[in-house]
Chain A
Amino acid sequence: MASTVEQDLTEKLETSSLEAAKHEISIGKEAADMIKAQANEAFKNGDYEKATELYSKAIEIHPDAILYSNRSFAYLRREWYGYALIDAKKALEYDSRYIKAFYRRASSYMALGKYTLALSDYEYVTKACPNDKDATMKYEECKKVVTRIRFEKAIAVDESSKSVANQIELNTMIVEKEYDGPHLDVDGLVTKEFMYAVLPYFESQKKLHKKYAYQIILQILTLLKSLPTLIDITVPKKHKFTICGDVHGQFYDLLNIFALNGPPSEDNPYLFNGDFVDRGSFSVECILTLFGFKLLYPNHFFLARGNHESLTMNQMYGFEGEVKAKYTAQMFQLFTEVFNYLPLSHCINNKILVMHGGLFSKDDVTLKDIRAVDRVKQPPEEGLMSEILWSDPQPQAGRSESKRGVGLQFGPDVTERFLKLNNLEYVVRSHEVKQEGYELAHNGKCITVFSAPNYCDTMGNKGAYITITGDDIRPKFTSYTAVPHPAVRPMMYANQLSMFGLM
């Protein structure tokens, strides 16, 4: 730091006497120091505008690394990241080893989305201060971000690109006369006859014509776009309502649910609580069936988003592969778009809240907050939306880090407080496989329902569904075992290298 000042000094020495020069410098520095003190005070009080003004004044008199670094900090607080970066760089010009300046520069880079540059600054700091825990933590965090972003960029579907929906030309799709499956008429209206024909058609492993599949998916897109993030359901007195959990592409078990509990209708409404696809290799049949019923009975058939209604999960666990194998890559893109519009939660008779994962990392979450969530996106790594889709209940009170690495684990006290705040009776969620297909936790206030029996053909669990009536919302459980399915193994369409093992 002193070196540049000394250079100034040398110049001055050449033109004036030593004494005079020394005097000038000390006056300058003192004045700057006084102003700096005032600036620091303003900063402490949160008056960042004043702080920047004062730092600027001090810099005019006697610039140094500390002043630039402090002003950079103030700019960061004001979110003027461009200026913050300039100042941080300036500070390093004055003192190339000033650790705080590296910090400021790293923060500026982070804010500007230049994560790789931020990373190398954090790396420097951790090397220079190996015992600084904060530095190490920032470095690790930054490294994670860099790795993740680099990767997401590489595989992401460009979300700002035109909606795939607009690119689909139904008119050019001809239905060949050899096609022996059910048809939709020209406006694509799903009828009861159509659904009753399509279920056995799927059962014999036949493929719905892609034109009709597209028609269904496009109509669902329009329908879902009109829905709020949290949907209120009213179940009238004496009327039945059924809640199902994860289905995971197990189409034959889905048919079994309809056989046991009756097919969907206005008198037999259903709510499917997410994870319709992936793992099981009949995901296409499942999702088209569920979408079909939604179109047929929009006010008596409900679908909530699960963590598997997302791009990364579909890429890993088979849905993308299956759609590409049975239809097209474009259709998969359309599914990705559609899944973004699935509502996140349902509230039945103002008493039962249903969502795929679970509750939250904070205590003051209300139904209003859930309604306000901007859900039209891929599930983020944190926040309400992420927690709704990923959290799990835990037996002990309080909250813990999730064993899954996303979301959290929440205890009976969290459930209790949430229910009280929102005037609810209990919460229903899914997301975890259970031996009997369901499980009561938190004194019966947090219920898990999972509807995919013998999950992945290996778990040997039962599936279950919950039924209630409008006047008696105490849950009744029905468990069932798996039914046979054609010899198509789970994850049949997932990444091929997974199927070769380790080589």
Chain B
Amino acid sequence: MDKRAVDNSNIIATNNDACQCKLYAIERGYWNDPYLKILAGSIQQERRTPEISLGYYVRVHGVRYLIEKFIKLTNNDCQIINLGCGFDTTVFYLLDNENLRFKHFVDIDFEEITELKSNKIHRLPSLRNKLPMDNKSLKIPCGFHSSLYTILPADLRNTTQLDNQLKLLATNSIIDFTKPTLFLSECVLIYMSNEHSLNLLKYLSQTFSQCCLFLNFEQINMNDRFGEIMFENLKQRSCHLIGMESCQSLNSQCERYKNTNYTSSFCLTLNEYYKKYLNINEKRRIERIDGGLDEKELLEQLFEHYCFSWAYRDENNLGLNKITFE
């Protein structure tokens, strides 16, 4: 058996976990998403504590908020590349919103995942009909292509492979390396070594050097008891948080952007986001869904260990510094 395949399966399994938790939260009414169920199937019927649902809610909404800002700032003349996308449904969310048009959206993940995702989209009209098809029929093995949306298989630790795939799209005028591009990475970098993640960051900032924004959602402040416990828990599942080093502090998150040619970077914990930037009525609504919050402290502890961090290059002075929470 291919050794790489064995190594990846545990990372690939995290997609399943994320989907289970998200589907539960959606079922409970934290937010709406008719597409995830179609892609990810049904969930194990097991009760989960509200802290996790709230965490996913914040993750989904925080990321979407910044995506929307990016699209508006670039006047819809932008590209979005979702790294380690799993069964994420952001593209469908954007397509459903007239104000959130974009030039192209690319989902990238291991071929095991992209194959599944592509097949589902091909087979199911409820998904396929959302995606306008152009005349260019580009055949992507284990992938998918349409006028606005492409699914590319790639191992993000292999920048040569990634480069080949992206160049394929560029030569076919599907993407443009000089166009403003937003990279999304949700709980992705921590599963690869620092060397790999730095390589990836550098490759992206060089290739899209004109105008790009890298948006990361990930663990942080991991050098405490909570971090230890999470690390151990996941290790028992053969899931190794080998990229932990960059997740030690706000500083370490930002350092790596500085070292890979991004001009500015920002970072804030979910706690900060939850306290400062979430609408109070929304907060009330979501806190009541699972029979009320039994104890706020546990939520705060979880939220102290996750962050949004982002960095950008803005050679054209579009004003990417304006992309922040308000």
Do A and B originate from a single complex?
Answer: yes
Q: Is A171 an interface residue (CB 8 A)?
A: no
A-B contact count (CB 8 A): 98
Q: Is B96 an interface residue (CB 8 A)?
A: no
Complex alpha-carbon distance, A312 and B309, angstroms? 36
The dominant DSSP class at the A interface is helix
Shortest distance in angstroms between B82's beta carbon and chain A's nearest beta carbon?
16
Which B residues, 216 to 261, have Cβ-Cβ distances below 8 Å to chain A?
219, 229-230, 233-234, 237
| B49→A404 contact, CB < 8 A | no
Q: Is A406 an interface residue (CB 8 A)?
A: yes
Q: Is A370 an interface residue (CB 8 A)?
A: no
Complex alpha-carbon distance, A233 and B294, angstroms? 31
Chain B residue contacts of A131, Cβ below 8 A: none
Q: Taking beta carbons and an 8 Å cutoff, which residues of A are in contact with B?
A: 143-144, 147, 150-151, 154-155, 279, 312-313, 315-317, 390, 402-406, 433, 455-456, 458-459, 489, 491, 494-495, 497-503
| A155→B45 contact, CB < 8 A | yes
| B20→A498 contact, CB < 8 A | no
Shortest distance in angstroms between A386's beta carbon and chain B's nearest beta carbon?
11
* New A-B pairs, 17, CB < 8 Å, besides A279-B295, A403-B292, A498-B49: A147-B29, A151-B28, A155-B45, A155-B46, A313-B291, A404-B288, A456-B295, A456-B298, A458-B298, A495-B47, A497-B21, A497-B52, A498-B48, A500-B233, A501-B219, A503-B21, A503-B187
| A499→B287 contact, CB < 8 A | no
Shortest distance in angstroms between B26's beta carbon and chain A's nearest beta carbon?
10
Q: Is B40 an interface residue (CB 8 A)?
A: no
Max chain B CB contacts within 10 Å: which of A404, A433, A459? Answer: A404
In the complex, what residue of chain B is closest to A494 when comparing beta carbons?
A: B49
Given A495-B46, A495-B49, A498-B49, verify A405-B230 contact (CB < 8 Å): no
Instruction: Determine which of A154, A402, A456, A502 lies in contact with B21 in the assembled complex, contact meaning CB atoms within 8 Å.
Output: A502
Q: Is B131 an interface residue (CB 8 A)?
A: no
In the complex, what residue of chain B is closest to A490 when comparing beta carbons?
A: B298
Complex alpha-carbon distance, A287 and B284, angstroms? 34
Complex alpha-carbon distance, A279 and B294, angstroms? 10
Chain A residue contacts of B55, Cβ below 8 A: 501-502
Q: Is B289 an interface residue (CB 8 A)?
A: yes
Q: Is B282 an interface residue (CB 8 A)?
A: no
| A495→B297 contact, CB < 8 A | no
Chain A residue contacts of B230, Cβ below 8 A: 499-501
Binary interface encoding of chain B residues 1-41 relative to chain A, with 1 for a CB under 8 A from any of its CBs, else 0 = 00000000000001001101100000111000000000000
| A501→B306 contact, CB < 8 A | yes
Cross-chain pairs A/B with CB under 8 angstroms, 16 sampled: A151-B27, A151-B28, A279-B294, A279-B295, A312-B291, A317-B294, A403-B287, A406-B291, A433-B295, A456-B295, A489-B229, A494-B49, A498-B52, A500-B233, A501-B52, A502-B55
| B291→A458 contact, CB < 8 A | no
Q: Is B273 an interface residue (CB 8 A)?
A: no
Complex alpha-carbon distance, A107 and B297, angstroms? 42
Q: Is B157 an interface residue (CB 8 A)?
A: no
Q: Is B196 an interface residue (CB 8 A)?
A: no
Complex alpha-carbon distance, A83 and B48, angstroms? 41
| A316→B298 contact, CB < 8 A | no
Shortest distance in angstroms between B5's beta carbon and chain A's nearest beta carbon?
20
Given A316-B49, A498-B48, verify A404-B291 contact (CB < 8 Å): yes
Complex alpha-carbon distance, A313 and B47, angstroms? 9
In the complex, what residue of chain B is closest to A379 when comparing beta carbons?
A: B291
In the complex, what residue of chain A is closest to B301 when comparing beta carbons?
A: A458
Chain B residue contacts of A455, Cβ below 8 A: 295
Complex alpha-carbon distance, A406 and B47, angstroms? 18
In the complex, what residue of chain A is closest to B293 when comparing beta carbons?
A: A404
Chain A residue contacts of B287, Cβ below 8 A: 403, 405
Chain A residue contacts of B14, Cβ below 8 A: 503
Shortest distance in angstroms between A179's beta carbon and chain B's nearest beta carbon?
30
Q: Is B203 an interface residue (CB 8 A)?
A: no
In the complex, what residue of chain B is closest to A155 when comparing beta carbons?
A: B45
